[in-house]
Structures are given as structure tokens and as C-alpha cells.
Amino acid sequence: MIDLRKLPSVDRLLLHAHAAPMLDCYGRSLVTTNIQNVLESIRQNPQAETFEPTEEAILERVKNQLIQALTPTLTRVINASGVVLHTNLGRAPLSRSAQQAMSEIAGGYATLEYDLEKGKRGSRSVHASGLLRRLTGAEDALVVNNNAAAVLLCLSALASRRAVVISRSQLVEIGGGFRIPEVMKQSGARLVEIGTTNRVNLGDYESALRDGAALLMRAHTSNFKLVGFTSQPELKELTALAHQYEVPMLDDLGSGALLDTSRFGLAHEPMVQESLAAGVDLVCFSGDKLLGGPQAGIILGKAHLVAKIKRHPLARAVRADKLCLAGLEATLLHYLKGEAEKEIPIWRMISASANDLKERATRWQQQVGGEVVEEHSTVGGGSLPEETLPTFALSFNIPGLEQMAARLRQSTPPLIARVQGGRLYLDPRTVLPEEDEDLVRILRTHITGAHR
């Protein structure tokens, strides 16, 4: 039983030499509060304590509690899972230029809503929109905080309390419970679903449009593929039909590819330029998927429709901030300069050859052991479902596989591996070259000598 009378005072603990580093790091107020909390905890339940409450021991507990409570929960990780656009790990890593642009803007004031030529208030909607127009040929553009917001804003501005026609096969749910029907409901639009789960034809759309509608919408199926006895009209046919009935056509592309994925041995992902060339009035897509930029929702299309969307009250609630716009502009410049494959990390990863990846995995093996095996990477992020890229991974067959993976996740920085079929895999495709040294260090610490 602890003798509570011998507990040191708060003031005495604050004067102790072990408290000085904490005071420098966290400040007097936080340290004082945590000392008080630890002392109160001991007083409330002294019989539960199993340690001798010396001044050093109490301050050690205070330090541990401060570290646990104040260590940031958002931290950098090494993604060795082989999933390029890993939604849980933040999707697309940014290029050096995008990082620098965001850092420069973050460190001071910026022309977010200021017109330097006129010397008065400007509009944040001008940022990135010029580059998007030049890159895609769209009449106008608007950037919001993510693609879900882009779709919600378009529907709210153009179809509130009115009908939106969409195929049943496109009423999808993607990660995080985002469901197209629920977004439509939230916007105030009335859902008119047509066709069957696997087949829809132009006549289905025309019948619905005859009854009156504000919008015809196509939604990319994102993270699943419909195969077998299926059919759906071409985008050009849908656009022509919408215009025949004087209804705008909205294409929710999701991933927003600006490069042809078939060039890299993948299936062809619908491209933004293709939708606009087909006559679509509005296109929505993400900034942090196949574009390879920061999280954003991008709306492109006809100027009069984009202008109406910009005026909607919801546009302010979902607008992009200065860091997003700075990173997006830098990312778009890579495409305009023809250097996307070289400068944007996800395109470097997607375009990496199996031989180059084998060389990296072999270099890891030479330092930490394991076995280099043929494997497959995935694009992820709701893009190109069931499509894979050939790779070579470093694999280990070790005792306590799940416990080992957990220890790797607790390293500094955390290392995210893939566990499958009784083995642990580390795929170099999704590990940035500058992370190799950290990866090898972590594997040496936790795995060397444990594998067989």
C-alpha cells in the first residue's frame, strides 16, 4: 500500500531535474496539469499501484502520458503494400514541385482572393482553372474539396427538386459508405433509375427524359466491374440524347485520368478529355487519384453551367483551400510540360518496369535476407478494378506473421507490408526511392534473423 503522505507536491516535482526537458518541450501548463492528474490517480486508487511512487517514477509516468496524448496521429508511413492509390494511406503522394508549392504558400500570405493588378478582392476560383482549361479544352473549371462534394454541388445547383436520370448499374457505393443514391437525395434531386442491374439501352433513357428531367448522369462504377450479359449506350449517344431533350449531361468519372492507362499494360480508364470530346456538359473527378495531386474535386465543362454552380451557396461550404490549389496547380503543370510520368509519383510507380522493381527488391534482399518472388501490384483508389501490374516483392516466411506485421507498423516511420497466404510481402513499386534506407533499417531491426 502506498503511503499517500509521502507523495511529493506538484511544486517539488516541477523543480526536479527530470521535469526540465518536459517543461522545455510541452510548456509549464501542460506539464503541471499532467502531474496533477497522475498524483490524483494515485490518491484515488493507491492499492492498484504496483510501483514505488518516487519523484523519478512519477515524472516518468507523466512523460509517457504526455507523449501518448500529444504525439500527432497523422504521420508519414512507408507503403510497401503494392497498392498505388491506397485510400487508407492518403492516396496519391505529391510531386516535389507540388510539395514545394504548398510549403511556399503555407508559410506566408498569398493571392488566394486578391487581384494584384486591380489591388482589390479577387476570386479563388481563378486558381488552377486556367491550367485546367488549357489542359482539357473545357470552357471553365471549378475546384472543390473532393469529388463527393463536386457531385453533390452539381446536383444541388442544377437539379434540386427535379429529376436526374441514371442507370441502375451505376448506383454504386464506394469506400467510406459514399453512395450515389444518398448523395442525390442529399442534394434534393429526385432519382430516376432506369434499366436493369446489368443492361440498359438508349430507349430506357429516352423514356425517362420524355417525362421531364433536369439532368442526365453517368457515374463511373469505380471499384467494381460488371461482366457477362451486359450492355449500355456509348457516351456520345447519351450526350446526343440529352441535348436532344435540352438536358445537361453530367459525367462523374471518379478517378479522372489524363493519361491513357492502356499504355502501361492496364485496361483503358475513361479519360477526362474523352468525356469532353464526346460533348459532355460537365465532368467531375478527383484530384488525388489518377491525377496524382492533392485531395480535390474538379468540375469541368460548359461555362454557363459552371457559373451557375459557382453561385450556389453550397459552393462556399465545399471550396478548396490555398494549399490544395497550390498543389493542384503544380501537378497540372507537370501534364502541360509533358513530364507527368517522370515527376508525378503515382505515374512513376505505374510505369515502373518489372525488371527495375526486381533490382530494387534484390538490393533489399542482399541486406536483410528473404526471398524475391514474382507478385502483382494494384492501382487501387477505386480505379481499374481487377487490373494488376507485374512486380517483384521481397517476401518472408517468419514465425508470428501478424505480430511481425504489427511491429513493422509500430516502427519509425511505420512500415506497411502485405500479409497473404502465410507470408509477408514488401512491394518496391509503392516504396519511394528515398525511403529505401529507412525500409532496410526497419527490416534489419525487426526481421533479420527471424525469417527462414
Residue 452 lies in a domain: no
Domain end residue (candidates: 288, 305, 340):
340
Q: What percentage of residues in the chain have a pLDDT greater than 90? A: 76
Confidence tier at 225 by pLDDT (50, 70, 90): low
Mean pLDDT lowest for which of 228-237, 332-341, 351-360?
Answer: 228-237
What CATH number does the domain containing 391 carry?
Answer: 3.90.1150.180
**Each residue of 277-299: pLDDT tens digit?**
999 999 999 999 999 999 999 99
Domain containing 206 equals: 94-340
Q: Are residues 212 and 115 in the same domain?
A: yes
- Position 452 scores a pLDDT of 43
Q: Are residues 124 and 220 in the same domain?
A: yes
Q: Are residues 109 and 214 in the same domain?
A: yes
The answer on pLDDT for 223 being more than 70 is no
What CATH number does the domain containing 115 carry?
Answer: 3.40.640.10
Mean predicted confidence (pLDDT) in 120-131 = 94
Residue 415 lies in a domain: yes
Q: Are residues 248 and 277 in the same domain?
A: yes
Mean predicted confidence (pLDDT) in 117-135 = 95
Which pTM was predicted? 0.90
Rounded to whole angstroms, what are the CA distances from 200 to 168, 182, 203, 251? 8, 21, 8, 17
Q: What total of structural domains would you count in the chain?
A: 3
The answer on pLDDT for 157 being more than 50 is yes
Domain end residue (candidates: 16, 37, 70):
70
Q: Are residues 266 and 329 in the same domain?
A: yes
Q: Are residues 279 and 230 in the same domain?
A: yes
Q: Are residues 330 and 351 in the same domain?
A: no
- Position 233 scores a pLDDT of 81
**Each residue of 396-439: pLDDT tens digit?**
998 889 999 999 999 999 999 999 999 999 999 999 999 999 99
Confidence tier at 13 by pLDDT (50, 70, 90): very high
- Position 182 scores a pLDDT of 80
Confidence tier at 227 by pLDDT (50, 70, 90): low
- Position 341 scores a pLDDT of 96
Higher pLDDT, 225 or 310: 310
Residue 148 lies in a domain: yes
**Each residue of 349-406: pLDDT tens digit?**
999 999 999 999 999 999 999 999 999 999 987 777 778 999 999 999 988 899 999 9
The answer on pLDDT for 177 being more than 70 is no
